[in-house]
């Protein structure tokens, strides 16, 4: 094998994640709730997976980014299969929390509904920032290893 990625030692993680996303893509199409919704949601995976593989073979992608891209693809494919309002995780959360069947639709008479939504978004944003702050050291080390294997020309 020749080319820019030839000297790079391959990790099985990338191949495993690509295979997982490909299988999930096929399975998400089988029995999808709505054909148009499937195409709209899965098109990002169908377009992004080849691009991610191309970038990985040309320049390399850190394992952390590989896992995050695969996780995002799986979320998109779940929405493509069920449509987001019918994803079973929402039903499981509703049942576990003892919420009403239509608790996720509209304000349900709660004048603070919009504020609760904004609070949940704020908490999620802060949690994401903290998680990525903690993971940034991991990602920086992975980037350094990637640079050491294939120094830029």
- 1 falls in which pLDDT band (50, 70, 90)? very low
- What's the token pair of residue 66? 């590989």
Q: For residue range 25-61, what is the model confidence (pLDDT) as tens digits?
A: 999 999 999 999 999 999 999 999 999 999 999 988 9
Q: For residue range 80-109, what is the model confidence (pLDDT) as tens digits?
A: 999 987 888 878 887 888 776 655 556 566
How many angstroms separate the Cα of 133 from the Cα of each of 9, 65, 70, 128?
28, 14, 20, 8
Dihedral through CA 23, CA 26, CA 27, CA 29, nearest 10?
160
Q: What is the C-alpha to C-alpha distance for residues 66 and 52, in angstroms, rounded to an integer?
A: 9
- In the predicted structure, residue 152 carries a pLDDT above the cut 80: no
Q: For residue range 104-144, what is the model confidence (pLDDT) as tens digits?
A: 556 566 788 888 889 999 999 999 999 988 888 898 999 99
């Amino acid at each position: 094998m020749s080319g820019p990625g030839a000297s790079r030692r391959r990790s099985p993680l990338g191949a495993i994640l690509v295979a997982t996303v490909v299988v999930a893509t096929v399975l998400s199409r089988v029995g999808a709730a709505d054909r148009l919704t499937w195409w709209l949601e899965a098109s990002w995976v169908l377009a992004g997976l080849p691009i991610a593989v191309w970038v990985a073979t040309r320049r390399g992608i850190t394992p952390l980014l590989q896992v995050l891209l695969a996780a995002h693809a799986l979320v998109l494919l779940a929405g493509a299969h069920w449509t987001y309002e019918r994803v079973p995780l929402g039903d499981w959360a509703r049942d576990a929390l003892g919420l009403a069947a239509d608790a996720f639709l509209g304000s349900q008479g709660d004048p603070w509904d919009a504020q609760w939504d904004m609070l949940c978004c704020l908490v999620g944003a802060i949690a994401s920032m903290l998680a990525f702050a903690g993971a940034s050291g991991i990602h920086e080390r992975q980037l350094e290893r990637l640079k050491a294997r294939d120094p830029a020309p």
